[in-house]
Structure 1
Amino acid sequence: MRSLLGHYLIGLLTVLAVAIILSGAALAVDGDEMFADPAREARARDVGRQLRCLVCQNQSIFDSNSGLAKDLRVLVRTRMSEGDSDTEILAYIADRYGDYVLLQPRFSIRNAVLWAAPLLALLLGLALMVLYLKSRRSGRTDVALTESERETARKLLQEGRS
């Protein structure tokens, strides 16, 4: 009975710990920075989920509690209030903070190598594999056995069976 109670307590504490950890993102947005209109708020969140928190690295600004993320959320809403489109807002923030702020970076000459690197690595790997397979194939040559070599092989095989 006592061990069963212990298992339930451990399970309850685990569930509470997970709930506390996952609720951190829910507290990221303050009520005072939200739009009253649900459609505008949804649009602000869509734009904000495309922007990286520069402090937290791989979180969007709507999943982060950092001060910079809050400033960027306010900036998104300010630009929306000024009538900017989603593309204009993203371009404005990227021009100000660099392409790294975009969770899906845009293609440019500066980052073309990063976009092409996986394809180049795949092509290089395929080329090396083809060269390796060709070198293995060209190294093999079939040699015909003489009659005396065949007879010796037959004798060896028969001795191995008996």
Structure 2
Amino acid sequence: MCMLDSIITSKTRLKLLIKFFVTSSNKGYLRGIAEEFNESTNSIRKELNQLSDAGYLIKSQENNKIYYRANIEHPLFGSLQKLVRTYLGLDETIDQVLERTGNVKLVALLGDYARGVDSGTIEVLICGDGLDADYLTRLTEKTEQFLGKKIVIYPQMPEGVLQQIILYQKED
């Protein structure tokens, strides 16, 4: 499997690509992303501008904030999304979780992968109501065997987490 972090050496850019291309519904604004990634607004702004100028992200203004999201019309959108999902080992897993697990409200990548480091342990926060824990356990075991990586699922945010990448957030 291609190690995306060896191709894209900017950890900030890698985290932004993961955030916006893991699922096309993700969006974010500068300060929110800086807080989410626990990084300075300057480094985030630089990468957002470069990705926007290249056409990978589109900007829209809502409530005095400029929001960014993936440009699904870009010719490379599908390829980038597949590359990001393959890097995370989540090719179809996220879609399965959203469809079959219950009322999922939030899915976030935590730990080393949220920092852009492939440590071999994927930590995922999945919050919601009436989640099917048995299904999540089976899916986790199956995905671990397929990827050869350890997967840790958290039903609530563990203490001490400084960085996360929101992969999915249900809009109210």
Largest Rg, 1 or 2: 1
Return the structure number with greater strand share. Answer: 2
- Of structures 1 and 2, the one scoring higher in RCO (CA 8 A, sep 6+) is 2
TM-score, length-scaled by structure 2: 0.24
TM-score, length-scaled by structure 1: 0.25
Return the structure number with greater helix share. Answer: 1
